[in-house]
A = this chain, B = another copy of it.
Amino acid sequence: MQGMLTEIRIAGFGGQGVILAAAVIGKAAAIFEGGYATMTQSFGPEARGGSSSAQVILSSEPILYPYVTLPDVLVVMSQEAYTRFSSQLKPGGVLIVEQDLVRVDQVTPGHSVFAVPATRLAERLGRKVVLNIVMVGFFGAVAALVDREALRQAVADSVPPAMQALNLQAFDKGFEYGAQLMQKLAEDGQSEGILSLDLEVEV
């Protein structure tokens, strides 16, 4: 019998950095908060076609069985990933989408759906390639499962030294965008539909 597990799936296309995003979350939870995590990626015939997905399990105890069944949090960065995985989200689960890459057809009652223009925020830093770390920052602010500083440290530890400054900026940009969204939702009392900020808000 295992303790309480939290399951997260991150999915998108190959090259978007899905795996690095998953590894950062696992590392943050485990190393900096004294817990345990596993990150698993499975490859098989269904993985043809350039999609990429990874599973992260967070636990207070060593993890005996690292397969995700139904995720508590689903982070998607492509329409294909949304189509494939959104029906697996647990009741009460959190769906996080890249808002320019994913059109959400309908919001399942009981799910919270948060949208972030991570590609555009990454482009503002001059490097679209860090959209995955913008997503991690946004995840940090809206899912509130893992401490901000722990995530930030895990970002720094997971990229080459020459890329640290850029990736930390990307993380902060995503986190601040998410924090601003959460504040606006609290002020407005909004909790239904697709929860997003107007990008024109300066972040």
Which of these binds chain B: A85-93, A154-162, A190-198?
A154-162
Contacts of A163 in B (CB 8 A): 129
What copy number does this chain have within its complex?
2
Contact A23 B29 (CB under 8 A): no
Contacts of A31 in B (CB 8 A): 43, 45, 47-48
A182 within 8 A of B: no
A110 within 8 A of B: no
Per a CB cutoff under 8 Å, which of B15, B19, B30 touches A160? Answer: B15
- Interchain nearest-CB distance for A24 vs B (Å): 10
Given contacts A15-B159, A159-B15, contact A40 B39 (CB under 8 A): yes
Per a CB cutoff under 8 Å, which of B20, B43, B66, B158 touches A27? Answer: B43
- Interchain nearest-CB distance for A20 vs B (Å): 7
**Best-buried of A15, A16, A35, A163 by chain B (most CB within 10 Å):** A15
Contact A66 B40 (CB under 8 A): yes
Given contacts A36-B44, A47-B27, contact A157 B15 (CB under 8 A): yes
- Interchain nearest-CB distance for A39 vs B (Å): 5
Binding site for B on A (CB under 8 A): 14-17, 19-20, 23, 26-27, 29-31, 34-45, 47-48, 50, 52, 62-63, 66-67, 128-129, 157-163
Closest 6 CB pairs of A and B: A30-B43, A37-B43, A14-B157, A39-B41, A36-B44, A15-B160
